[in-house]
Structure formats: structure tokens, C-alpha cells
Amino acid sequence: MAISTSVRAHPAHPVSLRGVSRAFPAPGGGAATTVVADVDVEIAPGEIVALLGPSGCGKSTLLRQVVGLDFPTTGRVLIDGTPVTGADPRCAVAFQEPRLLPWRTLAQNVALGLPDGTDRATGQRRTRELLELVGLGECLHHRPRQVSGGMAQRAALARALARNPGVLVLDEPFGALDALTRLRMQDLLLEVHAAEPTTVLLVTHDVDEALYLADRVVLLGRPAGAPRTAPSTVREVLAVPGTRPRDRGDADLALLRARLLDGLGVPSHHADPPSPDLHHSI
């Protein structure tokens, strides 16, 4: 369908993380714990970049720096060359759980994401467009309890897009879904990105998901040989070959998959060929 540009306030923006570190003070005044250190990542406008790494490596911490919900201890985060200094209106976030208000319809939930000052007629048109874009055009007046988990997650994605973000931040957005619904949501994200090509920063534990969706995969983790208490940093940045949508069984993706699993500490001889219903998650 044709997407209206009348309320799209922000084009896709570049994102820069330059020397970003984040330390958290210990209870009782002990030594601070540094979670991530010296992270340098440059994301081009309209690019999809996946952050991949083991649990606790600081992926979600970095997302909070990008959207302005937290701030680096050292370093800078910039969107379109401008430092992030607080909750940034150029960004929108979708989480692992849909977080829809149960007493509102799907259309009313999506409308919560509209920019301040959007007039009623424009807001209604934009809300309907987005629900149709994510395949929920017939469910405008349904409440969250009346739809499946995958449908609720689609509504949450539409709500994030309603903000007209220059940067869309996705924190494990499909992690709570069953395997088949997750695959469908991955395809939907690519369709939405083709229609509304914002910059996307995606956190995932799923190697196959990262390779299927992203232009580049940023592998986070402790440096090789570092103690377990060492902070995470960027271990490797891999460009993913081919154009989207990719063939999930592509041999080039299988090679990158083995390389990423090795980087995550999973021996590559355990990296079976990818299949539509089997994902390696860390």
C-alpha cells in the first residue's frame, strides 16, 4: 500500500557510538562495575544493524544510550551528528513484550505513538495506514485480549512507527513468540522497513535472526582471554552479504553463522545447517 508522508517528521538518521563506556556504581560504595567499554559503532541512515552477544554483555545498556534513557559514563552517542542528551524524539522503541494498554483498542494503542500536535484526521489516517501495513487493518477495534501474541506484537511495532522515528530501536522484539510466528514477524519487519526505511538497531540473541535481518552484525563480548569481570566491547563487525529478503539456507550465511557461533563460544562443529524452525540463541 502507499504510505502517506504527510506526518513523517524524521528521515532515517545516522547513529554514532563513539568511545562509549558505561559503569554502574556498586552498592555500599564499592568499586563500580563497567559493563561496556570503548564501543565504537557507526550506523548509516536506513541501515539495519543487529547487536549480538551473550546475556549480560551490555546490548540493552547500549540501546538505552541510543534512545536517551541512560547516558554513557564516557564517550558520546550522536544521532544525525547531534549528541543525545535525553529521551530523544527521533527514536522509537519496541520491546520483547507488546506492552499494550488492555482497556484500549489496537487503534487507540497505536495512536499513543503519534507525535504531539497531530490533528485528529491525520492521526486516524496514519493509525489506519500502519495497522494495514502490519496486517491488522481488520482489527482496529479489537482489544489486546482479543488477538494473538504475534498480532499484539505487530500492533506494538505499528505504535513505534507512529512516532515517525528516524531511528527504530528493537529490544528482542520477537523473543517471546513461538518459532513460526517469529519467522513471520521477521519477514514482516523487512516488509515494513521496505515501506518505511528508517534506521533500525536490533538487539537479539538469535544468530539466524541477526543474519536474516541485518545489513551488519555487531558482535559484543569480552575480549579473548579477558577475565569474566572484564567489560564487553565490540569484538567484530560482520557485513552480511546479499540483498533482503535473503535465503535462510544460503551457504554464505552458514559460514557467517559458524563464525558468529565461534565468537559466542559455541564450537562451530555444533553449527548445524539452518532450518526454518531451528534457531541458535545465546
Mean pLDDT, 10 residues at a time, over the chain (282 residues)? 44 94 83 92 96 90 94 96 92 90 96 90 92 92 94 93 92 86 90 90 93 96 85 94 87 90 75 47 48
C-beta separation of 153 from 215 below 8 A: no
Q: For residue 117, what pLDDT is reported? A: 87
Q: In degrees rounded to 5, what are phi and psi of residue 257?
A: -60, -45
Instruction: Indicate if the alpha-carbon torsion angle 125, 151, 206, 62 is positive or negative.
Output: positive
Report d(CA 159, CA 142) in Å as an integer.
Answer: 15
What three-state secondary structure class fits 91?
Answer: strand
Give, in degrees to the nearest 5, the angle at Cα 171 between 264 and 277: 60
Q: For residue 2, what pLDDT is reported? A: 41
Q: Which residues pair with 103 in a beta bridge?
A: none
Q: Please give the biggest Cα pair distance in the chain.
A: 59
- Phi/psi zone of residue 77: left (φ > 0), alpha (ψ -120 to 50 degrees), beta? beta
What three-state secondary structure class fits 49?
Answer: strand
Name residues whose C-beta falls within 8 Å of residue 229's C-beta, 6 or more positions apart in sequence: 33
Grid cell locating 21: 563506556
Grid cell locating 114: 503519534
Report d(CA 26, CA 164) in Å as an integer.
Answer: 38
Q: For residue 1, what pLDDT is reported? A: 39
**Listed residue (169, 161, 160, 158) closest to 49, CA to CA:** 169
Q: For residue 162, what pLDDT is reported? A: 92
Domains of the chain plus CATH, in order, are 15-270 (3.40.50.300)
